[in-house]
Chain A
Amino acid sequence: MTFALGKGISTSKTDQRGHARGEGILYMVWRRFRRHPGAMAGSIVLALILLSVIAVEFSPYSSDASNMAARFEPPSWAHPMGTDALGRDYLTRVLYGGRISLSVGIMVVAITLCVGVSVGALSGYFRGWLEPVLMRITDAFLTLPAFLVLILLSAIMREIELPFFQRNNVVTIALVIGLLSWMTFARLTRAAILILREMEYVTASQGLGASPHQVIFGHILPNMIGLLVVEATLELGYAIIEESGLSFLGFGIQPPTPSWGNLLSNASEHFIKHPWLAIFPGLMIFLTIISVNYIGDGLRDAFDPHKVLKRMGEV
C-alpha cells in the first residue's frame, strides 16, 4: 500500500515546510491523527477489544459446553461477566461473539468497498451508456427500505438450502448486509473520479499510453485513498450495528454461534433478573461503535479528504 501511495500523493523530497526527506503521506496523516484525543482513545479501546477477541482462544472456559451447576452466576472474579442460562462463562461467550460480529463487520467493509468502488469507478471513468445505468441502479438501491429488505432477505436465506450459505453463517450475513450498503462508496468514488480524471497527470499518463486499468488503479484510486479509508471506517460501525440488530431480532447469526446481537436477544428473556446478560454485549457494541466513529472522525481530520478534493477541483 505504501508503494501505491508513494506513486500517488507522496510529498516531494524537499517539502516546503522543511520536513525530513522522504516523509510520506502516512506519516503526515499519523501526525495529525495523533493530535485528535477522541481518535487516539478510540484506537486504544478498539485495539484492546481486538486483542481480547483474539486472546479468548486461551480462555480457561469453553464457549459452548454447558455447566448446569453454575447457571446465572452474577459477575465475580472467576466469571467477570457472570454466567448465562446454561452456566457458560459469559466473558468467553461475549468475546467469541465479538469475533463473529467483528468478522461480519470487516467482511461487509471488504464487500462494499469492492462493489462500491467498482461501480463508482466504472461509471465515473468510462461514462457513456454505462454511467446512467449504474447510477440508476445505485439510486434504486438507495431508495430501498434497507433494513426491512435486510430482514426479509435473511429470513429467506435462513430457509433456503444452499451449499455454501448454510443457516445464516458469517458469510451469508455479510453478503446480505454488503449487498444493501455499497451505494455510498459508489457515489463517493464516482464523484471523486469525475474530478480526478480531468487532472493533468491523468491526461499525461493516458497520453503515454496507460491502459484504463493502470490509470484507475495506479493514479486515481491512490489519490482518493483518504476518502475511502474514512468511509470504510464508518461503514465498519454501520455493519456491526446492522449485524447485531439483525441477530437481535433472530434473523442474523444463529445460536449456538454467539454474536453480540444474538447474545442480547437471548438475554432479553432473562435480563430483568440477570441484568449482566443484557449489559455486557451491548456495552461491547457501544464501545466498538463509539471507538470506530471517533477513529473515523480523526482520520477525516487527518486526511482532510474534502479539503484535498476541493483543492483538486479548483486546479
Chain B
Amino acid sequence: MAQYIARRLLQAVLLLFVLSIVMFALVNLAPGGPLAGQGQTRRVRPERVAMLKRQFGLDKPLPTQYMIWLVGNDWMRVDLDGDGKPDEYGTRRGVLRGDFGFSFRTRKPVLEEISLRLSNTFYLTVVTLLVAVIIAVPVGILSALKQYSSFDIVATTFSFAGQAIPEFWLGLILILIFYAWLKNPFTGEPLLPSGGMYSLGGEFSIPDRIVHLVLPVTAGALGWIAWYSRFLRSSMLDVLHQEYLRTARAKGLKESRVIYKHGLRNALIPMVTMFALDLPYLITGAVFIETIFSWPGMGRLYYQSAMQRDYPVLMAILIISGALMILSNLAADILYGFLDPRIRYD
C-alpha cells in the first residue's frame, strides 16, 4: 500500500512537472509575453522595460526562463544594466518556494491574491456540495427503492433537466426571479441580493451571509443534485440486485437493516470516490457562478485575469488546480481501496 502511494505520488509529481512546462510554453505563446501587461496600465520607459526584463530573466531563452520560474534566480547574479557584467542577485524565489511572481493587475504577490480568494471559493464550494449531497442522497435512495414509481419518474425527469440547464443561464434566471421580479413584501426591496458575499458597509451577521448564499448555491447545486441523485440511483440499483442482499434477507434481517446497512453502504462507495474526483471541478466550475454573482473567489479571479492577460495569476491558478486534480484522483483511488477491500493494488 505504502509502495503504491509512493509510486502514485512520484507519478503525480512528474505529471505536474510536465503540466507546468506545457502551461509555461502556452502562456509564453501569447503576444508580448509575460510583460505584455506592463505597458498598458502606466507609461513605462523602454529602458525601464528592458531592465525589468533582465531582472525577471525574460531576456533569457525559454528553457532558462522556465528554470527561473521554477527555482528562482536569487542564487545567481543578474546583469541589470545590460553591459554584460552580472550586477546583483535576482529577486525571484521560484514556484517551488511559493513565489508565483506578481500580479500585473494589482502588483501584489500572486500567492497573496490567490489566498485571499481561495477561502471564499472554498466556503461557497463546501456549502454547495453539502446542499447537493443532503438533497441528492435521499432522492437517489428513494428513486432506486421505488423504481418506476411516480416519485422515481419525477426525480429522473428532474435530474435530466437539471443536467441540461447551463449554470450560467440558471444564474441569470434566478437573478431575474428573485432579484428583479419578487420583492420583499415589507420593505419593497428585492427579495434576495443579486451578488456579493455580504452587504457592503453592513456589519457581519449570519442571516446576511445566508441571504447572499441562497442564489449562488442554488445555481451551483442544481446540476450536482441532478448528477449525484442519478448516480446514486444507479449504483443503488446495482447493489439491490446483488446476491449478498438476498443472503441478508434470507438470514432474517429487518428490511431497513438490509437496505441501509448492507445496501446503502456499498452503494455509497462509488459515490464517495466520485465525490473526491469532482472536488476540483467544483472549484474550477465556480468560474460561472462567481462571475455572475460577483463572488470574490478564485473562479472570478481567473476570469478577470484571463480578460486582462494577467498571466502570472493564470499560471498560478492553473498549476494549483492541476495539483488539486491530480491529488484528488489519487485520493479517490486510495479511498476506493480503503472502503472496498475487494480492490487490490498492484
A residues apposed to B, CB below 8 Å: 38, 139-140, 143-149, 151-153, 155-156, 159-160, 237, 241, 244-245, 248-251, 264, 267-268, 271-272, 275, 278-279, 281-282, 285-286, 289-290, 293-294, 297
| Bound CA span A279–B172, Å | 9
Q: Main SS of the interface on chain B?
A: helix
Cβ-defined contact, B317 with A144, below 8 A: no
Cβ-defined contact, A143 with B326, below 8 A: yes
Cβ-defined contact, B284 with A145, below 8 A: yes
Q: Given A278-B176, A285-B169, A148 and B284 touching (CB < 8 A)?
A: yes
Residues of chain B within 8 A of A248, CB atoms compared: 166, 168, 288
A-B contacts, 22 listed (Cβ < 8 Å): A139-B15, A143-B322, A147-B287, A148-B302, A151-B287, A151-B302, A152-B23, A153-B26, A160-B29, A160-B30, A160-B31, A244-B166, A249-B303, A264-B172, A267-B172, A268-B172, A271-B172, A272-B180, A278-B173, A279-B176, A289-B163, A293-B160
User: Among the listed A151, A160, A264, A275, which residue makes an inter-chain contact with B306, where contact means beta carbons less than 8 Å apart?
Assistant: A151
| Bound CA span A160–B287, Å | 24
Residues of chain A within 8 A of B322, CB atoms compared: 143-145
Q: Given A151-B303, A152-B318, A285-B166, A271 and B287 touching (CB < 8 A)?
A: no
Interfacial residues of chain B within 1-42, with CB under 8 A of chain A in the complex: 15, 18-19, 23, 26-27, 29-31
What is the size, in residues, of chain B's interface with A at 8 Å between Cβ atoms? 44
Cβ-defined contact, A144 with B173, below 8 A: no
| Bound CA span A145–B327, Å | 12
Cβ-defined contact, A286 with B19, below 8 A: no
Query: What's the nearest-Cβ distance from chain B to residue A65, in Å?
Result: 27
| Bound CA span A237–B163, Å | 10
User: Among the listed B30, B164, B292, B329, which residue makes an inter-chain contact with A293, where contact means beta carbons less than 8 Å apart?
Assistant: B164
Residues of chain B within 8 A of A289, CB atoms compared: 163-164, 166
| Bound CA span A210–B314, Å | 51
Cβ-defined contact, B288 with A156, below 8 A: no
Instruction: Tell me if B96 is interfacial: C-beta within 8 Å of chain A.
Output: no
| Bound CA span A197–B309, Å | 49
Residues of chain A within 8 A of B321, CB atoms compared: 145, 148
Residues of chain A within 8 A of B325, CB atoms compared: 143-145
Cβ-defined contact, B172 with A282, below 8 A: yes
Residues of chain B within 8 A of A285, CB atoms compared: 166, 169
Cβ-defined contact, B306 with A251, below 8 A: yes
| Bound CA span A264–B31, Å | 29
Cβ-defined contact, A152 with B314, below 8 A: yes
Residues of chain A within 8 A of B128, CB atoms compared: none
Query: What's the nearest-Cβ distance from chain A to residue B24, in Å?
Result: 12
Cβ-defined contact, A290 with B172, below 8 A: no
Cβ-defined contact, B31 with A159, below 8 A: yes
User: Among the listed A145, A250, A278, which residue makes an inter-chain contact with B172, where contact means beta carbons less than 8 Å apart?
Assistant: A278
Query: What's the nearest-Cβ distance from chain B to residue A39, in Å?
Result: 11
Q: Contact string, B163-206, partner A, CB cutoff 8 A, digits 1/0? A: 11110110011011001100000000000000000000000000
Which residue of chain A has its CB nearest to the CB of B169? A282
Cβ-defined contact, A286 with B329, below 8 A: no
Q: Main SS of the interface on chain A?
A: helix
Cβ-defined contact, A143 with B329, below 8 A: yes
Excluding A244-B168, A267-B172, A279-B176, 8 further A-B contacts by CB distance (< 8 Å) are A159-B31, A249-B303, A268-B172, A278-B172, A278-B176, A282-B173, A286-B165, A297-B160
| Bound CA span A146–B321, Å | 10
Query: What's the nearest-Cβ distance from chain B to residue A111, in Å?
Result: 19
| Bound CA span A264–B165, Å | 13
The 6 closest A-B pairs by CB, nearest first: A282-B169, A290-B164, A289-B164, A145-B321, A155-B306, A278-B172
Q: Given A251-B306, A267-B172, A272-B180, A156 and B29 touching (CB < 8 A)?
A: yes
| Bound CA span A285–B165, Å | 8
Instruction: Tell me if B250 is interfacial: C-beta within 8 Å of chain A.
Output: no
Query: What's the nearest-Cβ distance from chain A to residue B138, in Å?
Result: 23
| Bound CA span A188–B177, Å | 42
| Bound CA span A294–B309, Å | 40
User: Among the listed B165, B168, B329, which residue makes an inter-chain contact with A245, where contact means beta carbons less than 8 Å apart?
Assistant: B168
Residues of chain A within 8 A of B292, CB atoms compared: 268
Residues of chain A within 8 A of B180, CB atoms compared: 272, 275
Residues of chain B within 8 A of A251, CB atoms compared: 306
| Bound CA span A264–B176, Å | 13
Q: Given A271-B176, A275-B176, A282 and B15 touching (CB < 8 A)?
A: no
Cβ-defined contact, B166 with A143, below 8 A: no
Cβ-defined contact, B287 with A249, below 8 A: yes
Q: Contact string, B265-299, partner A, CB cutoff 8 A, digits 1/0? A: 00000000000000010001101100110000000
Which residue of chain A has its CB nearest to the CB of B280? A145
